């Protein structure tokens, strides 16, 4: 068996203290796609953020990993669990793949690894994702993974001077197993 955190195309690794420039680039690219606009952060601020993530407790319920290409070790994005409710058995994840690396299967494979981990090792029963209604590539990614739309929060966020919808999606452990294999639970 190969590493649990490796697929055919990607390897997931911990954030390192030197990943500040990567986090800054991914944030800037997400901003161009219409993600939430935050005030600029300094290079030192991004280094501090990378340091926070690098020293975070790996057994915590929320965490962030870097997505690397297995072909050459290039960081291509990040993925993480941003909210989790272990009592009720659900978690929310998010993923960002750099613009020059999209549509190569990195996102689907990284998401499968994280979702499988949460279902099989952490025993969550429901994965959730929130996607801006105008972000069609991200909505397509979630649907490819097997997520279904649970609802739409109309005019829920305000971006670039206009209100936008937020789509709520979910995937249950048994549906993930039927589609992607795994989960030998009773």
Output the pLDDT for position 28: 86
What is the per-residue pLDDT across 113-130, written as a single tens digit (0 to 9) for each?
A: 999 999 999 999 999 999
Judged against a pLDDT cut of 50, whether residue 15 lies above it is answered with yes
Q: Virtual CA dihedral for 117, 122, 125, 128, nearest 10 degrees?
A: -60
Radius of gyration in angstroms for the set of CA atoms belonging to the chain, rounded to a whole number:
16
What is the per-residue pLDDT across 19-39, written as a single tens digit (0 to 9) for each?
A: 999 999 998 888 766 666 678
Helix (H, G, I), strand (E, B) or coil at 146: coil
What is the per-residue pLDDT across 104-115, written as a single tens digit (0 to 9) for each?
A: 999 999 999 999
Phi, psi of 60 (to 5 degrees): -65, 165
Output the pLDDT for position 31: 76
Q: Look at 73 and 3; give whichever has higher pLDDT.
A: 73
pTM of the model: 0.91
Output the pLDDT for position 1: 38
Query: Could you give the CA distance from residue 105 to residue 45 in angstroms, rounded to a whole number?
Result: 31
Q: Virtual CA dihedral for 30, 63, 112, 104, nearest 10 degrees?
A: 30
3-state helix, strand, coil in the chain (%, to 5): 35, 35, 30
Residues 2, 142, 18, 61: is their CA dihedral positive or negative?
Answer: negative
């Amino acid at each position: 068996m190969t590493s649990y955190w490796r697929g055919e195309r990607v390897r997931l690794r911990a954030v390192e203290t030197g990943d500040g420039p990567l986090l800054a680039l991914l944030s800037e690219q997400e901003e161009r796609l219409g993600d939430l606009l935050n005030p600029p952060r300094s290079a030192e601020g991004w280094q501090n953020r990378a340091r926070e993530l690098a020293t975070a407790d790996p057994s915590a319920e929320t965490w962030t990993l870097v997505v690397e290409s297995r072909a050459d070790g290039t960081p291509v994005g990040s993925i993480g669990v941003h909210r989790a409710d272990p009592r009720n058995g659900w978690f929310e994840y998010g993923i960002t793949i750099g613009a020059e690396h999209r549509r190569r299967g990195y996102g689907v494979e990284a998401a499968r690894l994280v979702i499988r981990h949460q279902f099989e090792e952490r025993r969550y029963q429901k994965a959730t994702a929130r996607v801006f209604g105008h972000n069609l590539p991200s909505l397509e990614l979630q649907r490819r993974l097997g997520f279904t739309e649970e609802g739409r929060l109309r005019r829920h966020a305000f971006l670039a001077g206009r209100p936008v919808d937020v789509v709520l999606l979910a995937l249950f452990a048994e549906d993930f197993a039927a589609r992607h294999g795994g989960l030998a639970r009773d």
